Amino acid sequence: MNATAPLAHDDKCLLRPGNTNCGGCGMSVGLTMLGRALDKAGDSCSLVIPACCGIVTAGAYPTTSYGVPTIASTFASSPAVASGYASIRDLNDEPGQVICWAGDGGTYDIGLATLSAAAERNENIIYICYDNEIYGNTGGQRSSATPAGARTTTTPSGKTEGKKDIMSIMAAHAIPYAATLSMAHPEDFADKLATALSMTGMRFLLIHSPCPTGWKSEPEDSIELVRIAVASGLFPVYEVFDGARYRISIRPDGTDPAEYFHRQRRFADDDIDLDETRRICAARMRRLEVLSQHFD
Amino acid sequence: MSVQVITGNHAAGYALSTAGEANRNSRGTACGIYPITPQTEIVEYVAKFPFSKGRVVPVESEHSAMAVTIGASIAGARAFTASSSNGLAYMTENIMVAGYYRLPIVMVGVNRTLGPPWNIWADQGDTLMLRDFPWLQFYCEDSQEVLDTTLLAFRLAEDHRILLPALTCMDAFIVSHTQTETTMPDQADVDRYLPDLDLPHRMHYDEVRTIGGLAWPHEGLSMRLEIDEAMKRVPDVYQECRQRFSDVFGRDPGDVIQTFGTEDARQILVASGTMATTAREVVRKRRAHGEKIGLVKIKMFRPFPGDALRQACATAERVAVLDRNYAAGTGGIFWQDTRAAFQGHRDKLLIQNYLTGLCGEDVTPAVIGDILEDLSGRDSAGEPVWMGIDTTKETLQ
């Protein structure tokens, strides 16, 4: 590419050109889609980002890859910093969303108490977790979002525990909105962002975010991998209103999950019990089907 | 203005709340609050205060209490909180962030022993643990001083030449739960003393800026240097804030160090908090009998008032530093800084450390008498002396 060619991007777009994110990074796609959703809604935002790849994305002072006001918080604190910041926005009747943009380490692990407290208080913020199932920024350690069988630098023989069900935890807080988003389904992804932007109170969005570096996968496979995860039931795509009304957005189509594991070198073939995986996926979908039966 | 008999916690709650209320015509006020003995009454007071434009956020931990306060401050609000002991330890990561973000947050710390063992009584080890962060620190000896110093701390912290958070400290129970006669300023006077907060680097919702991301070593170094420069401006700006306080409220909030009888003293006690109250009475009685002794109370610990301390001890031959804290492996923290202040100025001055009142032990006039007896019998300074315990006999098995 000609480096002197004028950029086709708006300087004020959410994720600006020139960032150093990895090829095939799901977080980059998520940020771009968030920016588009904000533009479409005629909305703006401030980001609060804890320690994670998302704050590395910003780049070095005084430049920034974010086209919006962005505040770095300590690892566990993004929902609390956002609570204080959004409180002053609301006291002054100012526009714009306050959005926490956090990885799974900051969400499932170190920040869980802070997130739970912000949800219990129904803070007027949007919390988005880009879940790449690993501590990516530090070179690939297990988190409680890492799925069973995945090899990380701290589970060299494969993780023996399963992935924490963060959606059930968040839905149990009865917050106005909780949803899972897959970038293999961009229309649904955009619809859910639009839904979240149209509401007030605590909104929690979980993005299945491919990470070629941590997943030991090919960058061009990123979207295909999360597509298989949805189609096979590994990553259910649904939304929960007020912790009560469940709606399944995209149903699995019977695709076998085997392909998902084969195409990521974080999974060694003999570490994955495919029968057990199929059973868990089916049980999870049955539960969601039951929960969603009474959706109006 | 009214005179009431109130506790140190009540004084702190009143000062924090009226200071927050004074920002109602600007961006308002907010704080994160979390209980811990013996400061709980402060956050209870704040939670009950009818703010015109404010939000009190009852959070799940001290760590988040400071995080909420940081978020509010970045948005340009007047922000404050209070904590104590292990709560401050748990909050520490975000305390540090508030300083490096140059946010003029004011916190009241009630000095309580860090555990284990579990202990709710006075010891300054908790706030002194934070001594190396970019925070101003003040140690108070009664409700009036807590109230006045907390209000002054806002004005000082928010001054554009400073822009650093400030911590006002008081001894657990001895001040926090003891009622003393206190002059309470009207809201109108607090409004006059604390103008609308104008935080120059506050985040605006429509700007493109990232704060707290990566900075290369040289940029990071520049930011540290700016903190050092701001710290060096504190003594002068403090005097301006003190003068303005006197103009508005009609009383002196006190200097960064406070002396008694030092003008001709051969022996000087250096103390802080309520130890200074007791020491002052001992010094008063002994001076009446012709002893040339004096007291220096250190009110401002950060930045450390080395110049003022050296000046106050000009006639001294021996100095006793009383520490209600212990830095493991060294000694008292006020002692370390006192020795550093005299190094290269009066290297032969005898400066002896006395560890007293730790873990809530009482520092009585008799203890002060023992310290003076030890000090006057010395030819040279030695290891820190543990008061109130026979170090040759009493050890845990």
| B59 shares contact with chain A (CB less than 8 Å) | yes
CA distance B72 to chain A (A): 4
Chain B CB contacts of A76 under 8 Å are 63
Is the pLDDT at A52 greater than 70? The verdict is yes
Helices and strands (H and E) in chain B: how many: 12, 16
Q: Read off the pLDDT band of A9 (50, 70, 90).
A: low
Residue B396 pLDDT = 57
Is the pLDDT at A165 greater than 60? The verdict is yes
Mean pLDDT (whole number) for B221-233 = 98
Q: Which of B64, B91, B202 to mutate to test the interface with A (most CBs of A within 10 A)?
A: B64
- A5 occurs within a structural domain: no
- A63 occurs within a structural domain: yes
What tens digit of pLDDT does each residue of A108-133 get? 999 999 999 999 999 999 999 999 99
CA distance A19 to chain B (A): 13
Q: How far apart are CA B308 and CA A4, in angstroms?
A: 60
Residue A77 to residue B63, Cβ atoms within 8 A = yes
State the Cα torsion B334-B336-B341-B346 to the nearest 10°.
Answer: 120
Chain A CB contacts of B72 under 8 Å are 84-85, 87-88
| B226 shares contact with chain A (CB less than 8 Å) | no
CB-CB contact of B73 with A84 (8 Å)? yes
CB-CB contact of A125 with A177 (8 Å)? no
Mean pLDDT (whole number) for A209-214 = 97
- Its domain, for residue A160, covers 26-292
- A41 occurs within a structural domain: yes
The amino acid at residue A248 is I
The C-alpha angle with vertex A163 and arms to A157 and A169, in degrees rounded to 5, equals: 155
DSSP run (H or E) holding A177: strand A177-182
Across the beta sheet with B54-58, the strand order is B54-58, B29-33, B78-84, B106-111, B166-171, B136-140, B300-302
Q: Which of A43, A64, A87, A124 to mutate to test the interface with B (most CBs of B within 10 A)?
A: A87
Residue B205 to residue A61, Cβ atoms within 8 A = no
Number of inter-chain CB pairs under 8 A, A vs B: 159
In the numeric block, which tokens belong to residue A3?
A: 């480096």
Residue A4 pLDDT = 54
Chain B, residues 282-301, CB within 8 A of chain A, namely: none
What tens digit of pLDDT does each residue of A174-186 get? 999 999 999 999 9
Sign of CA pseudo-dihedral B102, B13, B22, B240:
negative
In the numeric block, which tokens belong to residue A276?
A: 């057990």
Chain A, residues 70-109, CB within 8 A of chain B, namely: 70-74, 76-77, 80-92, 94-96
Name the phi and psi angles at B80, rounded to 5.
Answer: -160, 165
Residue A83 to residue B215, Cβ atoms within 8 A = no
Is the pLDDT at A1 greater than 50? The verdict is no
The amino acid at residue A162 is G
Residue A276 pLDDT = 93
Name the phi and psi angles at B87, rounded to 5.
Answer: -60, -40
The amino acid at residue B308 is A
SS3 (DSSP) at A138: coil
Q: What percent of chain B has pLDDT over 90?
A: 97
- A4 occurs within a structural domain: no
Chain B CB contacts of A11 under 8 Å are 208
| Closest CB from B57, B207, B213 relative to A83 | B57
Chain B CB contacts of A97 under 8 Å are none
- A17 occurs within a structural domain: no
| B210 shares contact with chain A (CB less than 8 Å) | yes
**Which residue of chain A has the CA closest to B95?**
A74
Residue A84 to residue B68, Cβ atoms within 8 A = yes
CA distance B227 to chain A (A): 18
Q: Which of B51, B68, B94 to mutate to test the interface with A (most CBs of A within 10 A)?
A: B68
Cβ count near B147 (within 10 Å): 28
3-state percent breakdown (helix, strand, coil) of chain B, nearest 5: 40, 20, 40
Confidence check on the interface: ipTM exceeds 0.85, yes or no = yes
Q: What CATH number has the domain bearing residue A148?
A: 3.40.50.970
| HSE (side-chain half, CA atoms, 13 Å) at B365 | 7
pTM across the whole model? 0.96
Q: What percent of chain B has pLDDT over 70?
A: 99
The C-alpha angle with vertex A27 and arms to A21 and A28, in degrees rounded to 5, equals: 55
Total structural domains within chain A: 1
State the Cα torsion B95-B98-B101-B105 to the nearest 10°.
Answer: -150
Is the pLDDT at A296 greater than 70? The verdict is no
Q: Which residues make beta-bridge pairs with B54?
A: B29
Chain B, residues 83-142, CB within 8 A of chain A, namely: 93-94, 97
Q: Read off the pLDDT band of B39 (50, 70, 90).
A: very high
The amino acid at residue B361 is E
Q: How far apart are CA B312 and CA B269, in angstroms?
A: 11
Residue A89 pLDDT = 98
Q: How far apart are CA B165 and CA B145, in angstroms?
A: 18
- A122 occurs within a structural domain: yes
In the numeric block, which tokens belong to residue A218?
A: 């090919």
Residue B59 to residue A48, Cβ atoms within 8 A = no
In the numeric block, which tokens belong to residue B204?
A: 């605006």
- A8 occurs within a structural domain: no
Residue B216 to residue A60, Cβ atoms within 8 A = yes
Is the pLDDT at A2 greater than 50? The verdict is no
Name the phi and psi angles at B22, rounded to 5.
Answer: -65, -15
Q: How far apart are CA B275 and CA A154, in angstroms?
A: 51
What tens digit of pLDDT does each residue of B371-381 get? 999 999 999 99
Chain B, residues 27-56, CB within 8 A of chain A, namely: 27-28, 30, 32, 53-55
Domains and CATH numbers, chain B: 2-249 (3.40.50.970), 257-386 (3.40.50.920)
Q: Which residues make beta-bridge pairs with B2?
A: B184
Residue A46 to residue B203, Cβ atoms within 8 A = yes
What tens digit of pLDDT does each residue of A245-285 get? 999 999 999 999 999 999 999 998 777 899 999 999 999 99
Chain A CB contacts of B33 under 8 Å are none
Residue B391 pLDDT = 78
3-state percent breakdown (helix, strand, coil) of chain A, nearest 5: 40, 20, 45
Mean pLDDT (whole number) for B269-276 = 98
**Which residue of chain A has the CA closest to B223?**
A61
- A18 occurs within a structural domain: no
**Average pLDDT along chain A:** 94
